[in-house]
Amino acid sequence: MISSLSDIIIDVAPEGKASKFLPLPFHPINPCIFADLPLLLRGDNTFVGAYSRKFEWQIRYQRGDDTPTIGVASTVTGCGESPFQDGAAVLKYSLDRHSAANGNGRYNYQTYIFYHPNATSCVLPLQALGFTLIKRATPIRVEEIQGEELRERIVKNGCCGEKELIKLEAYRLVQHPLVIHVDLDVLILKPMDDVIDFMLHPTTRQYNLQKVPLMWPEKPIPNDIQLLFTKDYNMVGPKRRDKPFQGGFFIIKPSLEAYDEFIRIVKEGDYHVKGGWGKKVGPFYGGMTIQGLLPYFYEHLHPGRAVELNRCIYNNMNDNPFMERKNGEKRCRTDQESCEDCRFRPKEDVVTFHFTICQKPWSCLSFRSQQDKFKLCREMNHEWFAYRSKLEQTWGRSGFGPGEFKPNHYLGYCSDRGTGGYLPIALPYGQA
């Protein structure tokens, strides 16, 4: 039986033999731990032993075979009428385009969809796109929450109520060194190598710090970065110290210990309508779940473990950085004397874009207004359809739809204005 990491490395890759990683099914006792005890086989299929899959990336990296595979997860809490499946398809294609497998990045990605049982029927087709589907109920039952104010209100909080807590399942993907959680209305436009290098090696400087877009570069860098995130400054006033973390994009180091602590925090329910978590964070939109839990955890309970990225480059939402008064006075929502306006950041600089303020691509907007402050919205909207077109071309399709509504912009995938005019990606995926 293998007793140390060095034993694993020796036995996994014997002289002249290729190693194999054969994951077992879900752990029979704890099915929430993904492939808890994979087998180790030599190249001749001789059984060597077993090891915890959470160390697989370390083994591969130490052997020098390849760089670790980064997990990328998204969460679906229900079906509804939105064609989020197309968002998932374009998101995955944009991610794959900027990966090592396509020669356009240093890292490869394994993609997951956490889905609530209510979303089963609409999520299953995504398996054909290469997603690993993981069914997960809400990690806590509302009646288990001890705090009365949280227990009575969480089901109506934010976009998805208590189901938003399913995003915490990303912390359990411990077979990856890092997991990026993104909403399905996000587009990846460039490789994310620089921030991944930064998070994996914050003290060894195996990265170019000038390429890491930090929101506050003057702040000290933690020796062990557990979270990279952006903030949603538009949710609160400039003077508020407790700013919500944006729940549509964040990068974590998976940890079962952190996951368990999050669950304990929610069950204890130390949330107050007027004071938020621990009377320190909140209230604001989505504050009872991810957007409030993350800042409470990383800024108050465990400070010095998280780094904020520049939201104009990562998770750009084309948001207005100013609070504008009736007298024309403007104040930066970051409470700075001056601040960057992400709406005017060149699209070539943006690494990930989040379709929130700009509306979803499948809204088939008319774009009658050509104001400069919405230029990035128009550019990114068209970019999303360009990625969809290229994806369909890889399947042997023409890359153009039959729609006649603004065909130069929507490439034939909109027949009229509004979501009713959007022409979804035809099934089956991957076929002409």
Of 139-143, 147-151, 203-207, 404-408, the one with minimum mean pLDDT is: 203-207
Task: Specify the pLDDT at position 205.
Answer: 64
Q: What is the mean pLDDT of residues 190-213?
A: 86
Give the separation between CA 394 and CA 387, rounded to whole angstroms.
11
Tokens describing residue 304: 């010095």
Q: What is the mean pLDDT of residues 187-207?
A: 88
Stronger pLDDT, 28 or 266, i.e. the higher one = 266
Q: How does strand 132-135 pair with strand 47-50?
A: unpaired
Give the separation between CA 13 and CA 60, rounded to whole angstroms.
10
The residue among 138, 116, 137, 123 whose CA lies nearest residue 88 is 123
Q: Give the amino acid at 97.
A: R
What are the E-state strand segments in 205-299? 227-231, 245-252, 271-272, 276-277
Q: What is the pLDDT of residues 34-74, one digit of tens each?
A: 333 333 333 333 333 443 444 444 444 443 445 799 999 99
Task: Specify the pLDDT at position 79.
Answer: 94
Task: Specify the pLDDT at position 12.
Answer: 32
Q: What is the mean pLDDT of residues 384-405?
A: 98
Q: Is 138 within 8 Å of 116 (Cβ atoms)?
A: yes
Q: Which band of pLDDT confidence, cut at 50, 70 and 90, is reported for residue 158? A: confident
Q: What is the mean pLDDT of residues 301-308?
A: 97
- Global pTM reads 0.85
Q: Is 124 within 8 Å of 133 (Cβ atoms)?
A: yes
Tokens describing residue 6: 């060095």
Q: How does strand 109-115 pair with strand 132-135?
A: parallel
Q: What is the pLDDT of residues 80-134, one digit of tens each?
A: 889 999 999 999 999 999 999 999 999 999 999 999 999 999 999 999 999 999 9
Q: What is the mean pLDDT of residues 220-233?
A: 96
Task: Specify the pLDDT at position 325.
Answer: 84
